[in-house]
Chains A and B, each alone.
Chain A
Amino acid sequence: MSGGGASGGSPGRRAPGVAFLFLAPFLVIYAIFLVYPLFKGFWISLHDWELAGGYREYIGFLNYEDLWTDKLFWRTVRNTLYFVALTVPTMTLLALLLALAVHGTGRLRSILRSVFFMSSVFSVTVVTLVWSMVLSADQGLLVPLWHAIGIKPVNFLAHPTLAMPSIALATLWWGVGLPMALFLAALGQIPQELYEAAELDHASRWTVLRRITLPSIRHTLLLVVVLQIIGQFQIFGQAMLMTQGGPANKTKTMVQYIYDTGFRDWQVGYASAIAMALFLLMLGFSMLQLWLGRKGDEA
Chain B
Amino acid sequence: MSTARRTGSTRTADLILLGLTVAFAILWMIPVVWVVTMSLKPNDELMRSTAGFIPYPFTIDNYVSLLKLATVPRWLMHSFVVAISMTALVLIVSSMAGYAFARLQFPFKRTLFLIVLAGLMVPEQAVFIPLFTMFADWGMHNTHAALVAPRLAVPIGVFLMTQFFRAVPRELEEAAELDHASHFTIFWRIMLPLSVPALTTLGLFTFIFAWNDFLWPLVSATKADMFTVTVGLASIQSNFAFSEGLGSVMASAVFASLPIVILFLIFQRFIVAGVAMGAGK
Contacts and interface: CB of A to CB of B under 8 A. Distances in A.
Interface string A29-50: 1101111111011011000000
Contacts of A268: 129, 132-133
Interface of chain A: mostly helix, strand, loop or mixed: helix
Interface stretch (B56-64, B65-73, B192-200, B271-279): B271-279
Contacts of A185: 272-273, 275-276, 279
A67 interface: no
Contacts of A143: 50-51
Nearest to A114: B268
B13 A205 contact: yes
A272 interface: yes
A22 B127 contact: no
A47 to B, nearest CB: 11
Contacts of A85: none
Interface in A125-178: 125-126, 128-134, 139-141, 143-144, 173, 178
Contacts of A192: 1
Contacts of A51: 132-133
B272 A123 contact: no
Contacts of A35: 115, 119
B17 interface: yes
Interface stretch (A58-66, A68-76, A231-239, A291-299): A231-239
A144 B51 CA distance: 7
Interface of A: 4, 9-10, 12-16, 18-20, 22-23, 25-27, 29-30, 32-38, 40-41, 43-44, 51, 98, 101-102, 108-109, 112-119, 121-126, 128-134, 139-141, 143-144, 173, 178, 181-182, 184-186, 188-189, 192, 196, 199, 205, 220, 223, 230, 233-234, 236-237, 240-241, 244, 254-255, 258-259, 262-263, 268, 271-272, 275-276, 278-279, 282-283, 286
15 contacts: A10-B177, A15-B183, A19-B109, A22-B97, A29-B93, A34-B153, A43-B130, A112-B21, A123-B229, A125-B231, A143-B50, A182-B275, A186-B279, A241-B234, A272-B130
Interface of B: 1-2, 5, 10, 13, 17-18, 20-22, 25, 28-32, 34-35, 38, 46, 50-51, 92-94, 96-97, 99-101, 103-107, 109, 112, 115-116, 119, 121-134, 149-150, 152-155, 158, 170, 177, 183, 187, 208, 211-212, 214-215, 218-219, 229-231, 233-234, 237-238, 246, 249-250, 253, 256-257, 260-261, 263-265, 268, 271-273, 275-276, 279
